[in-house]
Amino acid sequence: MPSESPTNPFRFGPLALDEAFTDRAEEIRRLSADISNGQDAVVFAPRRYGKSSLIWRVAQEVVSRGLLVAQVDLMRAPTKERLAAKLAKTIHEEISTPLFRAKERLKIFAGLRVSPVVTVDPRDGTVSFSFDARAASQDIDATLEALLMLPGQLAAERSRRAALVLDEFQEVVDIDPALLRLMRSVFQEQPEIAHIYLGSKRHMMERIFNDENEPFWRSAKQMELGVIPVDLFKTYAIERFADSGKTLDDEACAEALGITGGQPYSTQELFYFLWEETPASGTASAPTLAGALEATLRSEHAHFSLLWERAAAAQRLVLQALAKEQPGRPLSSQYQQRHSLPVTATVQGALDALSRAELVRKEGRGEYRIAEPFLAEWIKRYES
C-alpha cells in the first residue's frame, strides 16, 4: 500500500492550533497567570497577529488546571439580541456543562427577563439560543446584565475560577455604546472572574481603556502583542520542512522572513506556498521563493483589491509612495515632491485614515510603513 503524501505543515486563515502554533511562550505564561489570579487584561494586536490563536492556547492551558473559560467573539454579534444569544451559548457550553448535569444546565436561564428560544440540533445535540428582536430595549438590557453576571455567580457557587474572553471587544461600541457602562458595572463586582479583552482596532481599544472619560479607563492590565522573533520562526520553519521530508535553505528562509517580518499570519501564508512550490524531498531555495510569493499575491488579490477600492484617492497616493519607499516620511516636503503627493494637510488626513484602518503604522520620527507585509508588493505590481 503506497504511503500517504505528507501534509503541508503550515496554516493560515483559521486558528493556528497545535503544531501550527508558533512560540508566544511568554505571552501564554503571562495570560495564564492573569486568568489564574483573576486579573483583567486587555490584549492589543493588529489583525492577523494571532491573538485568537493565542487565547485558544491559553484556554487549553488553564482549562487543564480546572479553570472555566467562556469566549464570545463580538464581531459575530452585531446586535444586543445576538450578543445575548452568544453569551447564553458559551455560558451553557463552557460554564454550566462542566458544572451541572444535563437536566440542570438550562435551568440557569430560567430567571432572564427575556426568555430565550432554545434549539437542539438533532444531528449532534448542540444547543443554540435566540432572543426576540422585538423585545423592549430595557428588557434586553436587563437580560444582558443577568447573562454577564452568570459566569461569576456560577463559578462562585462551585468555588471555581473562571474567565470571560471578549474577542474584538471594540465592536461593543457599534452594538450599543451604552453597553460599556453596563459591562463595567457588572465586571467590577466579579473578583472571581478574569475578563480578557482582545481587540484589533487599536485606536478604538486605546480610547476604551486609556481615556479617563470612558468606563473601562485603567480597568485592565495591558499587553501588546507584537510579531514573533525572526530567529524563533526560522527554527520553526526549518523544522517543519525537515519533518515533512523537505529542506529549507538558510538564504530562502531569511529572505522569506525579511518579507514578512515575523508577522504570524503572513509568515504562515508565505511558508505554506513555499512548501507547496517545493517538490517532494526537494529544497526550497531563492527561485522557489519567487514562485511562492507570486502564489501568495494571487491568494491575497481579492482582499487587497477590496482594500484598494475602499481607499480614497489621497490614501491611494500615500500607499503608492510608501510601496516605493518605506519607511517613509510622507509629511516632509522632500518626500511629497519625490512622490507627487498632495499638500501636507491632505496627506495627514490620508495617513490618519490609513492608520485607523490598520493599513499603515507610524514608526517614530514621522516615519510610516505599510502594515500588511504583502500589500506593498501587490501595489507595485498591480497599482503603480
73 CB-near residues (< 8 Å, 6+ apart)? 52, 86, 167, 168
Domain membership flag for residue 41:
yes
pLDDT for the residue 307 = 94
- Tell whether 216 and 326 lie within a shared domain: no
pLDDT for the residue 18 = 47
Domain end, chosen from 243, 275, 307, is at 307
Give the integer Cα–Cα distance in Å for 55 and 49.
Answer: 12
Beta carbons within 10 angstroms of residue 213's beta carbon: 6
- Tell whether 106 and 173 lie within a shared domain: yes
pLDDT for the residue 349 = 96
Domain membership flag for residue 4:
no
pLDDT for the residue 31 = 92
- Tell whether 76 and 217 lie within a shared domain: yes
pLDDT for the residue 22 = 57
| Number of domains making up the chain | 3
- Tell whether 353 and 258 lie within a shared domain: no
In sequence order, what DSSP letters do the residues of 205-253 get, joined into one string? Answer: HHHHHH-TTSTTTT-SEEEE--PPPHHHHHHHHHHHHHHTT-EE-HHHH
- Tell whether 105 and 187 lie within a shared domain: yes
- Tell whether 318 and 356 lie within a shared domain: yes
For the chain, residues with pLDDT lower than 70 are 1-4, 13-23
* C-alpha torsion sign, points 7, 12, 15, 16: positive
What is the extent of the structural domain holding 316?
A: 311-382
pLDDT for the residue 4 = 64
- Tell whether 131 and 192 lie within a shared domain: yes
Residue with cell 507547496: 276
Beta-bridged to residue 120, according to DSSP, are 127
Give the integer Cα–Cα distance in Å for 208 and 219.
Answer: 10
pLDDT for the residue 169 = 94
Domain membership flag for residue 5:
no
Domain membership flag for residue 16:
no
**Are 52 and 195 contacting, i.e. CB atoms less than 8 angstroms apart?**
no
Q: With a threshold of 0.85, does the pTM exceed it?
A: no
Residue with cell 493556528: 16
- Tell whether 108 and 163 lie within a shared domain: yes
Give the integer Cα–Cα distance in Å for 85 and 71.
Answer: 13
Q: Indicate the DSSP class of residue 326.
A: S
Name the phi and psi angles at 52, rounded to 5: -70, -40
Domain membership flag for residue 154:
yes
